[in-house]
């Protein structure tokens, strides 16, 4: 069953998810002004799936049940599926100008599906059929699942088992006949509060001493012993201001991150997908990272489309849209954005079938895609800020523009002064100029930066992680042999 956006929001109210912010428990987190914009982003992924115009991108036929499902719960069955994933993500980015949060779960599904198949093949375990049963439930109920990989890590020079505090990597603390008990945390978790379930994965390659840390499982977001501490963002408390509107920039949508803490959480056997098979920890990490690095060739491009559009509107309102230098900056932004998209499409088109039957992206090109994402959005934002002008960060508040406090010799108010001196070109209201500048501030520097600028650097692995994979996948020896053959070198 495909839910609507409203049905999704109402489904969250049925959960007993424990959410903390500013040191206090948030009872009605679904309607909290700082959290609700991120929920609206997820709701958009449901509403777009209900729109016949987007059905081909937003829905797919389940390879498990044959039913129509949301593509965010789909196992990729071909390179075409991988391409549609990227196009879907671009669409969602265009519609929200923020992070819509379901990509991590989708990427986890596909990584865990193929990895559990190969674990069972080697060890005779039953992880794969457990996972398939779990995913069928997710698809049938159209659920949001948070893919959680990143551990706090502590001292990066030490392996998980060697940490002064063993909980700095999530690990198994007790093994029972009916399941396991886990303790630790997952950090920077995108959309965790807005998810019905979590699927947990190890965060790095591991050796035998780290077997208890090589764990993957699913659990409901309101599981006993699980709680979340909301991560604050720049300008976030503006949402708490009475009557906040223009100053919010992107009022309707926003991203979300949280620290997810597991305080001795019991996981039944039916939801365990790895429990000590340390030799497959790195396999799962690399596959998830590959899928998620592909994702950035879609979602960041969609948001980039909106940034480019906003910069163009700002130039128009400033009366600078006909200047050749401004036109050239817009061209450069478009060039960079479409280059990111090219990489996302390329790694998808070169996808290959796994042993389990789903399709995996080309790993080298996926890492090239994400390496570019760590750079190009920063330049796109720089150019947007250049075009917008300094007023983007020096503008008085919305209350000042509306103030009736008299300050002028002839009875002019603070509002009169603000509207007079920050007027746009003829035919454009001061308020509209203010709105587009606040919108750019929000994406470039504020709350939406977590879904665009800063996340472009660290999401799906920071730059060095991609460079390690590029070195591993680049096949330098073959390139050397090609050069030797043409140069006539025989050794």
State the Cα–Cα distance between residues 91 and 344, nearest whole angstrom. Answer: 14
SS3 157: coil
Structure tokens at 337: 């954005």
Q: Which of 92, 219, 299, 369 is catalytic?
A: 299
Neighbours of 133 (CB within 10 A): 12
Residue 292 appears among annotated catalytic residues: yes
Which of 351, 356, 446, 320 lies closest to 392 in space, CA to CA? 446
In the block, residue with structure tokens 């499409």: 345
The one catalytic residue among 17, 41, 74, 99:
99
Largest Cα–Cα separation, the chain: 91
DSSP H/E element including 356: none
> Is residue 213 among the annotated active site residues?
no
| 332 catalytic per annotation | no
277, 398, 441, 455: the catalytic one is: 455
Q: 292, 317, 398, 452: which one is catalytic?
A: 292
**Is 299 marked active-site?**
yes
Assigned token pair, 339: 């280059």
Does 190 participate in catalysis according to the annotation?
Answer: yes
DSSP assignments along 252-299, one per residue: S-----EEEEEEEEEEEGGGEEEES-GGGHHHHHHHHHHHHHHHHHHH
- Whether 92 is catalytic is no
In 315-366, DSSP assigns E strands to 352-353, 359-360
* Look-up of token digits 């008990």: 181
Catalytic residue among 46, 291, 296, 317: 296
Q: Find how far residue 384's CA is from the centre of its chain.
A: 22
Give me the residue label for tokens 């049940």. 65
Residue of 147, 279, 274 whose CA lies nearest to 205? 279
Residue 267: C-alpha distances to residues 112, 173, 196, 259, 300 (Å):
17, 11, 16, 19, 35
**Would you state the structure tokens that stand for residue 368, as one six-digit string?**
């090239």
Inter-axis angle of helices 281-318 and 324-349, to 10 degrees?
A: 160
Distance set, CA 105 to CA 53, 78, 189, 414 (Å) = 24, 19, 11, 49
Q: Are 143 and 222 in contact (CB under 8 A)?
A: no
Considering 257, 277, 286, 398, which one is annotated as catalytic? 257
Q: Which of 41, 103, 347, 369 is catalytic?
A: 103
Task: Check if the beta carbon of residue 150 is closer than 8 Å to that of residue 288.
Answer: no
Q: Is 369 a catalytic residue?
A: no
Q: Which of 150, 190, 203, 354 is catalytic?
A: 190
- Which residues are the active-site residues? 99, 103, 190, 257, 292, 296, 299, 455
């Amino acid at each position: 069953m495909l839910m609507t956006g409203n049905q999704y929001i109402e489904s969250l109210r049925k959960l007993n998810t424990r959410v903390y912010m500013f040191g206090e428990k948030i009872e009605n987190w679904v309607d909290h002004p700082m959290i609700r914009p991120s929920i609206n982003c997820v709701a958009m992924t449901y509403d777009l799936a209900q729109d016949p115009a987007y059905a081909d991108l937003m829905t797919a036929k389940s390879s498990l049940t044959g039913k129509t499902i949301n593509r965010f719960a789909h196992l990729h069955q071909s390179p075409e599926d991988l391409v549609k994933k990227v196009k879907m993500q671009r669409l969602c980015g265009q519609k929200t100008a923020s992070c819509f949060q379901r990509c991590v779960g989708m990427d986890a599904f596909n990584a865990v599906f193929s990895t559990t198949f190969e674990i069972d093949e080697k060890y005779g375990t039953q992880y794969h059929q457990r996972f398939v049963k779990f995913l069928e439930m997710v698809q049938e109920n159209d659920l949001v699942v948070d893919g959680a990989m990143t551990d706090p890590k502590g001292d990066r020079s030490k392996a998980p088992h060697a940490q002064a505090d063993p909980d700095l990597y999530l690990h198994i603390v007790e093994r029972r006949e009916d399941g396991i008990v886990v303790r630790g945390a997952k950090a920077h978790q995108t959309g965790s509060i807005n998810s019905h379930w979590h699927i947990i994965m190890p965060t790095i390659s591991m050796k035998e001493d780290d077997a208890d840390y090589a764990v993957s499982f699913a659990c409901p977001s309101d599981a006993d012993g699980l709680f979340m501490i909301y991560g604050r963002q720049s300008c976030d408390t503006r949402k708490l201001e009475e009557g906040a509107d223009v100053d919010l920039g992107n009022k309707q949508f926003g991203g979300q991150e949280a620290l997810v803490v597991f305080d001795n959480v019991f996981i039944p056997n039916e939801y365990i997908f790895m429990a000590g098979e340390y030799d497959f920890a790195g396999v799962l990490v690399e596959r998830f990272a590959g899928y998620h690095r592909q994702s950035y060739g879609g979602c960041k491009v969609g948001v980039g489309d909106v940034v480019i559009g906003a910069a163009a509107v700002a130039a128009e309102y400033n009366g600078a849209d006909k200047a050749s230098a401004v036109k050239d900056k817009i061209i450069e932004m478009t060039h960079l954005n479409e280059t990111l998209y090219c990489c996302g499409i390329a790694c998808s088109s070169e996808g290959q079938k796994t042993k389990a039957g789903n399709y995996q992206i080309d790993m080298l090109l996926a890492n090239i895609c994400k390496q570019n994402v760590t750079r190009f959005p920063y330049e796109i934002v720089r150019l947007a800020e250049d075009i917008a002008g300094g007023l983007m960060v020096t503008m008085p508040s919305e209350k000042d523009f509306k103030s009736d406090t008299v300050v002028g010799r002839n009875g002019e108010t603070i509002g009169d002064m603000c509207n007079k001196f920050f007027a746009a070109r003829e035919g454009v209201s001061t308020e509209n100029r203010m709105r587009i500048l606040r919108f750019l501030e929000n994406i470039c520097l504020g709350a939406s930066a977590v879904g665009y600028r800063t996340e472009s650097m660290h999401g799906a692995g920071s730059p060095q992680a991609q460079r390690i994979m590029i070195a591993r996948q680049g096949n330098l020896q073959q390139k050397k042999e090609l050069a030797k053959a043409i140069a006539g070198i025989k050794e």
